[in-house]
Structure 1
Amino acid sequence: MLPAPVIAAALEPALEQGLEERIDDALGDVTALAGAHWNEIGRRTEIAGPEMADLVAGARAADGGKYLRPRLAAAAFLAHGGTDVALLRHVAGAVQLVHLALCAHDDVIDGDRVRHGRPNVIGRTEANTLAAGLGASAAIRQGEASGLLAGDLALNAAAIALITAPAQDRVRLRLAAVALDAIEQTVAGELLDVRSETLPPEQSRPLLVARLKTAAYSVTLPLQLGAIAAGADGSSTGDPAELDRIERVGTALGIAYQLGDDDLGLFGATETTGKSTISDLRDGKRTEHIRLALERAAPADRARIVQALGSPEADEEDARRVREIVTATGARASVHELIRTHLELGIRTARAELPAQLAEYLAGLALSLRHRTS
């Protein structure tokens, strides 16, 4: 990993030229980006009555987070010379919808009822169902169905938004095609992640899961959509290889992001991350930490990990022991080295192949990923 002062120094030109400020100005109120599309969803589905209105309201209320993906789209758009702010906001809102959709589906798969520290669509619907006097089984069914349908609704709306974007036909079609391809890759990554829970940990492929499930839609997609909207992908007069260059950078940074997320899932502070340090263990998540630790640990320690992995009864003491083994075997250090390697690769590739402003913006992002605590 490049030393923090070196990366910080490299970021200064981008800041001096105002890319951060330009992103803020171009996006405006980031909480309203997806909101504009939710308004359209509500209008299109109002014939279904109050039930649909309630689902839309719940899905809309689930929005939040750091809005990393819209900001990446804006960075690529501006760095590639984009000037149509209305188009950017439209596309950035669609990017956020894709994120909200995949989060809603992920919550159904993982059985989560909370996101961003408040009830998600599932949790909200379950609470409302119980308050109406129905039983627990009905509440669970209504909650999970609402989470699935909210995700479907957001994915559909994102596709509609991109294919009706205020741009030329070839740009609209390219935006939609690239987004749908990324969604397909993410579904494949999610499937591998879930199926890995049934495999011996040594047969899992966490780096491939990170590439498909996280890098494809969290980093590569928003950067590519921003470049397409700016006309830099060959859809008009741009360079047709630009999306390939972006993918190389996005893959490296996205894998680092997921590895860091896995690290926080086991070693992070719950009060900072908002996530339990036991949930990944209980879910049997096959992270690179676990794969490497099992490969290196003594038989007794391997047995401790296997006993806790995927067990609903795993507790904080089990998690503490697993953390100790992961650390003692050097598995955590190896994952940190992988994070460093992928971040360096992403920075190096960006500086060699992407517009200078975007490259330095991503270098700054890499620094924040290396030291993230939430």
Structure 2
Amino acid sequence: MTVTVAPTDPALLRDRFDAALAAFLHERRPGRSDDGTGAVHAVLRRFVLAGGKRLRPLFCYWGWRGFGGPDGGPIVVAAAALELFHAFALIHDDILDGSDLRRGQPSVHRVFAELHTRSGWHGDPTAYGRDAALLCGDLCAAWSGQMFHDCGLEPAQVRRGLAVFARMRAEVIAGEYLDVVSAIGDGSVAAALAVVRMKTARYTVTRPVQIGAALAGADPAIVTALAEFGDPLGDAFQLRDDLLGVFGDPAVTGKSNLDDLREGKPTVLLALAREAAGPTQAARLRALVGDPELDHGGAAEVQGIIEATGARERVEGMIRTRVDQARAALDRTPLAEPARSALVELTTRAAHRRH
């Protein structure tokens, strides 16, 4: 029996992205078994290939296809390179947030800290784990540029894509800085939304789809206008992430729902809860959120306050509004099929996911 796979099937594309990543990483194995970098390569290979939604490569690929780019190996490699940049961002973000889990497995800094402990080495395992993970993140950032540059597209195409790629790299780092600053800021909804846009929205949706369109030679004005689709959808993606960080099932999300609350992460969700809280509720939020020893009982109390203030439903409303904006922008954009249908599907998947 012959099985026909729809051209928009994201699982098929994810397999192709993973194959491209595996091939790239295979070529970069340590040249000698004793050169000391085998552990780095092994940890990064596991981390990069351990799953993930591959949203950024998907948005890049369909941005390319939407403006006349043909399917083929070069665009798969170029799109997959964004996943290496995503790995850099995740590794560094987990260090900054002190997160012990990522995709249901120990985060990279925890893997190296545990290696230090098992090996009985001198010094501080935590410091070693942090330092090794920082270098792994830097390596992923460097590799992403190399993989993109050598994807096999024409040099003029690659240059167009790299111009957007460079903006994305700078924005992610600026967004991480704003996230750090926001922890000592005013805790306002506006400040939290600024972090959402710079740290996540642009590099999750807007820049990937623009990179794909630029690679395909889309009119620069249309490439710019794609932000009207990508920005609100990227916002919705992160707002959903913030909800999952507090209300998600760790068995599904692969990450503890204590992390954001213990860190006191200044999310839109918590900003709205504080804004609407009464005096007693506000006092409890101050006592519980940011407590590094917060337990599940305390987290349940915070969840109850968020529900009671209406903050959870307000965030759901913000997600719905931004999804509507993204879909309206897609309707205005001259996209070829099957890219239009694929991007409509991705819009729903990104905003209404469970992990």
TM over 0.5: yes
Can you give the 5+ residue segments of structure 2 that lack an aligned partner in the other structure?
none
Mapped pair 1:313 → 2:293? yes
Shift in CA distance, 17/66, structure 1 to aligned 2, threshold 3 Å: closer
Contact 1:159 1:180 in 2 (8 A): no
Q: 2:37 aligns with which of 38, 49, 52?
A: 52
Separation of aligned partners in 2, 1:341 and 1:93: 30
Q: Which amino acid in 2 is paired with 1:331?
A: A
What residue in structure 2 maps to residue 183 of structure 1? 169
Q: How high is the TM-score relative to the length of structure 1?
A: 0.86
Question: In the alignment, which of 198, 212, 215 is matched to residue 226 of structure 1?
Answer: 212
Partner amino acid, structure 2, of 1:85: G
CA distance in 2, matches of 1:176, 1:70: 15
Which SS does the other structure have where 2:70 is aligned? coil
Structure 2 residue 80 is matched with structure 1 residue 86: no
Are 1:33 and 1:92, in contact at CA under 8 Å, matched by a contact in 2? no
Aligned partner of 1:111 in structure 2 is 98
Offset at 1:279?
1.0
- Is the Cα–Cα contact under 8 Å of residues 215 and 250 in structure 1 kept in the other structure? yes
Of 39, 56, 59 in structure 1, the residue corresponding to residue 26 of structure 2 is: 39
| 1:134-176 deviations in Å (ceiling 9; x for gaps) | 25x5321221111111110111111122233322322222222
Q: Aligned pair in 2 of structure 1 residues 370, 25: CA closer, same or farther (>3 Å)?
A: closer
- Distance of 2:206 and 2:73 partners within structure 1: 22
Residues 323 and 302 (structure 1), Cα distance of their counterparts in 2 relative to 1, 3 Å cut: same
Instruction: Identify the structure with the greater helix proportion.
Output: 1
Please state how far the C-alpha of 1:28 moved relative to its aligned partner: 4.7
Q: Give the equivalent residue in structure 1 for 2:182.
A: 196
Q: What is the Cα-based RMSD across aligned positions, in Å?
A: 2.3
SS of alignment partner, residue 259 of structure 1 = helix
TM-score normalised to the size of structure 2?
A: 0.91
- Give the aligned partner of residue 207 of structure 1: 193
Q: Which residue of 1 aligns with 2:58?
A: 71
Conserved in 1, the CA contact under 8 Å of 2:14 and 2:54?
Answer: no
How many residues end up aligned between the 2 structures? 349
1:210-246: per-residue Cα shift (whole Å, max 9, x none)? 11111111112221222223232xxxxxx11122122
Deviations 1:263-311 (A, max 9, x none): 1111112222122222101111111111111111111111111111211
Q: Distance in 2 between matches of 1:242 and 1:176?
A: 17
Amino acid at match of 1:299: P
Which structure 1 segments of 5+ residues have no match? 1-15, 233-238
1:254 and 2:254 matched: no
Q: What is the rounded CA distance, in whole Å, between the counterparts of 1:142 and 1:193 in structure 2?
A: 24
The CA deviation string for residues 6-61 of structure 1, in whole angstroms up to 9 with x for no partner, is: xxxxxxxxxx994414x666665332222232234436xx3795322321221111
Moved more, 147-156 or 106-115: 106-115
Tell me how far apart the structure 2 counterparts of residues 362 and 288 of structure 1 sit (CA, whole Å): 26
Any idea what SS the aligned residue of 2:183 has? helix
| Structure 2 equivalent of residue 359 of structure 1 | 340
Matched, 1:283 2:263: yes
2:127 to 129, 132, 141: 141
1:373 Cα offset (Å): 1.4
The one-letter code sitting in structure 2 at the alignment partner of 1:31 is: D
CA contact (8 A) 1:245 1:354 kept: no
Q: What residue is the counterpart of 1:294 in the other structure?
A: 274
Cα separation, 2, equivalents of 1:47 and 1:172: 32
Q: What CA distance in whole angstroms lies between the structure 1 residues aligned with 2:103 and 2:351? A: 22
Give the secondary-structure state (helix, strand or coil) at the position aligned to 2:120: coil
Tell me which residue corresponds to 2:243.
263
Match of 1:338 among 311, 318, 342: 318
* CA–CA distance in structure 2, aligned partners of residues 242 and 87 of structure 1: 23
Q: Residues 333 and 28 from structure 1, CA distance in 2 versus in 1: closer, same or farther, beyond 3 angstroms?
A: closer
Deviation beyond 4 Å, 4+ runs, structure 1? 23-28
Residue in 1 that maps onto 2:353: 372
Sequence identity, in percent?
Answer: 32
Counterpart check, 1:61 vs 2:46: yes
Residues 1:132 and 2:119 aligned together:
yes
Change (3 A) 1:207 1:141: same
Q: Provide closer, same or farther for how the CA distance between residues 310 and 48 of structure 1 changes in structure 2, counting only shifts above 3 A.
A: farther
